[in-house]
């Protein structure tokens, strides 16, 4: 028997959250989404490309995401196919802030959004399949979790990560002018594969949860 396959595209469905304009800061309401996540740390001055822990985490996240996609597409009587979403990251320090000039340890949560029909049982099955392949220490730390950020500011940064402070200053200025204060963790959404794109062509959505000044 041939089963029909439903096709969805989260990036198109949530285009206003994943295709912001460059040079323009927008205020958006980010609903609850489902993610596969993994946590890690980086020493002061350590770049992600230099961190084995970071690279293992990225490999594990894409591995589980594609395994879930194939499980979803192969289900009998409820098959769903979809493009795998891109890498995202939450960043903070011991103080809870995000500051490029900060000289201490960084903390990060890397994550990839999953369609809402992905269940804990499907995740467990995909995790078992992934663990049976090439060994990766990050695989055992993967988790399925929901995140709602609510009211946020966001914009598209184009260029090297080292130039993000310039864009972040625009966001801070926008917040001060429009009566917002920061809350929560700095959020980056990497468009394309940051491991392959040239620095000047990197596209990164910078998102920051905010609230109105009391």
Q: Contacts by 168-174 with C-beta closer than 8 Å and gap 24+?
A: 168/206, 170/23, 170/25, 171/25, 171/206, 171/208, 174/25
CA 110 to chain centre: 6
Query: Looking at residue 185, what is its pLDDT?
Result: 94
pLDDT at 14 over 90: yes
For 181, the token pair is: 């204060």
Name the band, by pLDDT with cuts 50, 70 and 90, for residue 73: very high
The backbone torsions φ and ψ at residue 21, rounded to the nearest 5 degrees and listed phi first, read: -80, 150
* Average pLDDT rounded to a whole number, residues 1-19: 89
Mean pLDDT of the chain: 90
Domain limits at 31? Answer: 5-212
Quickly tell me which residue has 């864009």 as its tokens. Answer: 167
* Average pLDDT rounded to a whole number, residues 194-210: 84
pLDDT at 162 over 90: no
| pLDDT tens digits, 98-130 | 766 555 788 999 999 999 999 999 999 999 999
Query: Looking at residue 100, what is its pLDDT?
Result: 60
pLDDT at 172 over 60: yes
Query: Looking at residue 102, what is its pLDDT?
Result: 58
* Average pLDDT rounded to a whole number, residues 87-103: 77
Number of domains observed in the structure of the chain: 1
The backbone torsions φ and ψ at residue 196, rounded to the nearest 5 degrees and listed phi first, read: -120, -25
| CATH number reported for the structural domain that contains residue 203 in this entry | 3.20.80.10
Burial of 101 (0-12, 13-18, 19+ CB in 10 A): exposed
Residue 20 per-residue DSSP state: P
Name the band, by pLDDT with cuts 50, 70 and 90, for residue 200: confident
Rounded to whole angstroms, the Cα distance separating 88 from 199 reads 17
pLDDT at 1 over 60: no
Percent of the chain with pLDDT over 70: 91
Q: Taking a C-beta distance cutoff of 8 angstroms, is the pair 130, 141 a contact?
A: no
Query: Looking at residue 99, what is its pLDDT?
Result: 65
For 130, the token pair is: 């992934």
Q: Which of 73, 67, 71 is nearest to 5 (CA)?
A: 73
Name the band, by pLDDT with cuts 50, 70 and 90, for residue 214: confident
The backbone torsions φ and ψ at residue 105, rounded to the nearest 5 degrees and listed phi first, read: -65, 140
Query: Looking at residue 94, what is its pLDDT?
Result: 80
Query: Looking at residue 18, what is its pLDDT?
Result: 96
List, in order, residues 6 or more apart from 55 with CB less than 8 Å away.
48, 49
């Amino acid at each position: 028997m041939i089963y029909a396959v439903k096709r969805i595209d989260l990036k198109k469905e949530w285009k206003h959250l994943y295709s912001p304009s460059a040079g323009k800061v927008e205020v958006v309401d980010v609903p609850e989404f489902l993610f596969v996540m993994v946590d890690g740390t980086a020493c002061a001055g350590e770049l992600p490309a230099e961190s084995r822990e970071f690279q293992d985490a990225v490999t594990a996240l894409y591995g589980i995401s594609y395994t879930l996609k194939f499980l979803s597409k192969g289900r009998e009587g409820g098959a769903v196919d979809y493009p795998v979403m891109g890498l995202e990251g939450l960043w903070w320090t011991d103080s809870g802030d995000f500051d490029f000039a900060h000289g201490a340890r960084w903390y990060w949560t890397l994550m990839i959004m999953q369609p809402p029909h992905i269940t804990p049982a499907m995740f467990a099955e995909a995790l078992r399949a992934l663990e049976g392949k090439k060994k990766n220490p990050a695989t055992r730390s993967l988790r399925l979790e929901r995140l709602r950020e609510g009211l946020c500011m966001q914009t598209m940064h184009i260029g090297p990560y080292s130039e993000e402070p310039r864009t972040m200053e625009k966001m801070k200025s926008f917040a001060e002018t429009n009566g917002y204060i920061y809350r929560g963790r700095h959020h980056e959404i990497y468009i394309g594969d940051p491991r392959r794109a040239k620095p000047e062509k990197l596209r990164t959505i910078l998102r920051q949860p905010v609230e109105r000044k009391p």
